Copies of this chain bind each other. A is one copy, B any other.
Amino acid sequence: MADKLASVADAVAALVRDGDSLVIGACLEAAIPFAAVHEIIRQGRRGLNAIAPISDAATDMLIGAGCVERVTGAWVGNVSGGLAHNYRRAAEQGLPHPIAIEDHSNFSLAMALMAGANGLPYVPVRSLLGSDILKTNRRLIRADDPFSPGKPVILVPACKPDVAILPVQRSDRDGNCHFWGSLVLVQEAALAAERVILLADEIVDTSVIVSDPNRILFPSFRVSAVCPARAGCHPSSLTGVWRRDTPFFVEYHTRSRDREGFLSWLREWVFDVEGHEAYLDKLGDRLERLRITGWAPPEPVNFAAV
């Protein structure tokens, strides 16, 4: 089996290119790969299309750092704070530069990724009928349903991201992995994207993974790189491992209220930090206090062959 281990920095350097469309986490408020977000900012990627079911402050950081040219999203904000300041500055004042916004609803974005995952050219939906999202997202087509003459449908084109960066609780070195909790669009993103980078909170033996093949959301042949990255999703949560660091999000929200404050936050937490290990060192005790210490395993099931 292949060994795909790489540092976050090396994986981002090799697999994320200027102009790429990028799913930065596909799990709404949880499992956001901040370690990779920081690395993308440090490496100065430009012209990205940030595809965001919701990636909380991650999308806002990338916009503020000037990495993003386009946002394809259903919701962009700071969950614990409110409106996302960099997103507002870019949309309202063109700072640091203007961005294009491709509006979606959760369902239309979910269908776009589902279509990308399964090779469907588009998906007809009835949601979005009556919404002005049809006016701002010109890629959506209104058409007649040929099976119900006279009834309109909205055709949502498939979304096939160049890269999906996804934290998982555990993976082997080849990208066979387990993810659990609320699954949001993790499976669809991994199956749709051209390249998948995993941030594995723990590297385990393959036998751990195949002991529960139903807990595998996508096969390892979809995975390009496996980055060992304990708490690579901090300050977001990871089911069974890390609680959310809400004060960290609130501090980001407060400091990013004006551009200077954002830049100082960015210096402190991204540019002046060498990499993910240094970030964890900087967090210090704060991180361990976020560790989930309870133990609530499922009632087991049986996969015995005979």
Contacts and interface: CB of A to CB of B under 8 A. Distances in A.
Contacts of A181: 214, 303
Interface in A136-167: 141, 143, 145-148, 151, 153, 155, 157
B122 A124 contact: yes
Contacts of A111: 120
A254 interface: no
Given A211-B298, A294-B305, A305-B296, A147 B157 contact: yes
A137 B243 CA distance: 52
* Max chain B C-beta neighbours (<10 A), residue from A125, A214, A296, A297: A214
Contacts of A184: none
B303 A239 contact: yes
A306 interface: yes
Nearest to A183: B214
Contact of A169 (B145, B157, B292, B301): B301
A180 interface: yes
Contacts of A306: 243, 292-294
B301 A300 contact: no
A241 interface: yes
A208 interface: yes
A85 to B, nearest CB: 31
Contact of A120 (B124, B180, B297, B301): B124
Contacts of A157: 147
A275 to B, nearest CB: 28
A293 B155 CA distance: 51
Contacts of A121: 124, 126, 145, 147-148, 151, 153
Given A298-B215, A298-B301, A122 B147 contact: yes
Interface string A203-232: 010001001101100000000000000000
Given A121-B126, A306-B293, A215 B300 contact: no
A304 interface: yes
Interface of A: 111, 119-126, 141, 143, 145-148, 151, 153, 155, 157, 169, 178, 180-181, 183, 204, 208, 211-212, 214-215, 239-241, 243, 292-306
18 contacts: A119-B126, A121-B124, A121-B145, A121-B147, A121-B151, A122-B147, A147-B157, A178-B301, A180-B301, A211-B298, A212-B301, A240-B302, A292-B304, A293-B306, A294-B304, A295-B302, A296-B303, A297-B302
Of all A-B residue pairs in the complex, the 7 with the closest CB atoms, nearest first, are A294-B304, A212-B298, A240-B302, A297-B300, A296-B304, A296-B303, A208-B299
Given A181-B214, A294-B304, A300-B300, 19 more contacts: A119-B126, A121-B124, A121-B153, A122-B124, A123-B124, A147-B157, A178-B301, A183-B214, A208-B299, A211-B296, A212-B298, A215-B301, A240-B301, A240-B303, A292-B306, A294-B302, A296-B304, A297-B302, A298-B301
